[in-house]
């Protein structure tokens, strides 16, 4: 019967060759999504802003990452289905009905699309773009959300306009345009179900999703004597939340792909984790009392999960928060602010951020050209620092400082080095791990009684002391502001 599941989920139409995962198969409707101009723009957006100035191989795109997340998300779901069938077949003959096969197929395809589109709203230089002061001000303008959705109805996805736009809101907007432009229903899928598993949305699932959710729940929990305690009306939301955790959770397809991909292209092998080992130990977990439905890890798979978390922790410390890399991030944000001083560039970026007809023009290439023009006219500029790879002089590094402590240390450095305080600049990266140690409700440990074979769930920190070692932390680097830029612009703020 597992072969029947694989056959049903394996009717692909094309293969993309990926340096990290190898051949990634695609369905026809996924090809239509990928071929859309709003998705193709991701080819021109680097996954790690300008990390390649420090790790030269890190030139990979958001496009490849998005396709990789789709592949990993599909593998996660199928691995859990496969493990469930394998374990049940040890004690009984399992024959799936057509409705069960149809439900598995529907949920798997929904997950893949949610993963594929999860980052579709990223603009130039990914996260650094929205952190630039002038871009943040543009995105926070009153009425920006309504401008973005002019001509389209957002009420199926949002109860009310968000107070402030983030890249996730743009991903929802992009996904809406892409999914409504293709014949998704020909694939037996519905737009609202894909949108419902993306971040920031609140969606009422389709009738088809609700039907498949009930079938899926009966399939995985039918032998649980307490499964009937759940209200039928609660099941679709629980299933949708479980799918969402595969797209964006503590152990999700996004993190699994970017850690493997960023490590591969950066030629960094810090920590490392085995994706196959991790996936083979993932299971469906549920608690009808809470109620909760999500991911669980087998007790023997804790080692794979520990490797995953440690690898992520080390990538943050040694790659993403590298002192030279964060220095270039600071320069990049200042260069973006500098470019927006040009009224023509400002007006065009403002238009792109408010009108989906032009949003596809916001790529890395647009700003690289702007930086080059500014660098030619003004050698003493942040843009020239980016174009010619002029890095900041690193002064010091401190960990876990509070904001007032950062300010105090900045002034101390300036005093000791006999510099104006404004010439010492800082860049801070926060690594968020507290949910792993203190409030990890996204994944639990599945334990089976060796005699009764009954399954029970335990908090991850109750089973392994390893995860209690991680908490939120910050790394703050202190730099000397480029003197020629400061003198030329008079920027002492």
> In terms of Cα–Cα distance, which of 245, 272, 276 is closest to 260?
272
DSSP string, 198-259: STT---PPPHHHHHHHHHHHHHHHTT-TTGGGS-GGGHHHHHHHHHHHHHSSSS-HHHHHHH
Place of tokens 């900045």: 410
Burial of 198 (0-12, 13-18, 19+ CB in 10 A): buried
pLDDT given for residue 416 in this prediction: 96
pLDDT value, residue 229:
78
Q: State residue 10's pLDDT score.
A: 53
Q: What is the pLDDT of residues 42-64, one digit of tens each?
A: 999 999 999 999 999 999 999 99
Burial label for 147, CB within 10 Å (0-12, 13-18, 19+), is middle
The pLDDT value recorded for residue 313 is 84
**CA 113, 63, 25, 14: dihedral to nearest 10 degrees?**
110
The pLDDT score that the predictor gives to residue 462 is 79
Q: What's the pLDDT score for residue 149?
A: 97
Determine the pLDDT at residue 270.
Answer: 66
Q: Which pLDDT value is given to residue 8?
A: 52
pLDDT of residue 3: 46
Residue by residue, DSSP assigns 341-407 as TSHHHHHHHHHHTT-TTTGGG-SHHHHHHHHHHHHHH-SSSHHHHHHTT-PPEEEEEEES--HHHHH
Please give the pLDDT value at position 4.
46
Regions of the chain where pLDDT drops below 70: 1-11, 89-94, 223, 225, 227, 269-271, 432-442, 450-453, 486-493
Entry field: residues in the chain: 493
């Amino acid at each position: 019967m597992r072969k029947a599941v694989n056959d049903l989920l394996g009717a692909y139409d094309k293969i993309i060759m990926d340096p990290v995962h190898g051949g990634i198969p695609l369905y026809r409707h996924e090809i239509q999504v990928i071929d859309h101009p709003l998705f193709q723009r991701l080819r021109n957006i680097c996954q790690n802003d300008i990390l390649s100035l420090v790790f030269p191989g890190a030139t990979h795109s958001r496009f490849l990452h998005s396709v990789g997340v789709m592949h990993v998300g599909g593998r996660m779901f199928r691995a859990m289905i496969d493990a469930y069938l394998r374990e049940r077949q040890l004690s009984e003959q399992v024959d799936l009905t057509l409705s069960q096969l149809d439900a598995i197929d529907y949920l798997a395809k929904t997950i893949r699309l949610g993963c594929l589109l999860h980052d579709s709203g990223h603009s130039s230089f990914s996260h650094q773009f929205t952190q630039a002061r002038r871009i943040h001000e543009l995105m926070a303008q009153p009425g920006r959300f309504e401008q973005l959705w002019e001509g389209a109805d957002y009420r199926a996805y949002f109860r009310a306009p968000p107070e402030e736009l983030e890249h996730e809101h743009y991903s929802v907007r992009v996904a809406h345009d892409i999914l409504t432009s293709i014949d998704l229903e020909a694939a037996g899928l519905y737009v609202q179900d894909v949108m419902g598993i993306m971040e920031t949305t609140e969606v009422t699932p389709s009738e088809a999703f609700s039907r498949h959710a009930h079938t899926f729940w009966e399939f995985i929990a039918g032998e649980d004597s307490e499964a009937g305690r759940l209200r039928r009306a609660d099941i679709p939301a629980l299933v949708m939340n479980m799918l969402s955790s595969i797209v964006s959770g503590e152990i999700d397809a996004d993190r699994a792909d970017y850690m493997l991909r960023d490590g591969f292209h950066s030629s960094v092998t810090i920590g490392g984790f085995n994706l196959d080992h991790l996936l083979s130990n993932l299971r469906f977990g549920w608690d009808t009392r809470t109620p909760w439905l999500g991911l669980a890890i087998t007790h023997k798979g804790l080692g794979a999960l520990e490797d995953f978390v440690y690898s992520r922790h080390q990538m943050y410390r040694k790659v993403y928060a590298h002192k030279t890399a964060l220095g270039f991030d600071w320069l990049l944000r200042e260069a973006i602010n500098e470019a927006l001083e040009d009224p023509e560039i400002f007006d065009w970026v403002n238009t792109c951020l408010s009108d989906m007809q032009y949003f596809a023009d916001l790529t890395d290439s647009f700003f690289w050209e702007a930086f080059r023009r500014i660098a030619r006219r003004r050698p003493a500029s942040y843009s020239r620092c980016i174009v010619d790879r002029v890095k900041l002089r690193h002064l010091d590094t401190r960990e876990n400082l509070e904001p007032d402590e950062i300010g105090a240390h900045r002034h101390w450095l300036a005093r000791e080095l006999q510099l104006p305080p404004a010439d010492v600049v800082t860049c801070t990266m926060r690594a968020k791990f507290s949910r792993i140690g203190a409030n990890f409700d996204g994944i639990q440990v599945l334990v089976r009684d060796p005699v009764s074979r009954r399954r029970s769930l335990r908090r991850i920190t109750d089973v392994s002391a390893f995860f209690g070692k991680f908490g939120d932390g910050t790394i703050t680097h202190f730099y000397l502001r480029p003197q020629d830029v400061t003198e030329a612009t008079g920027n002492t703020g």
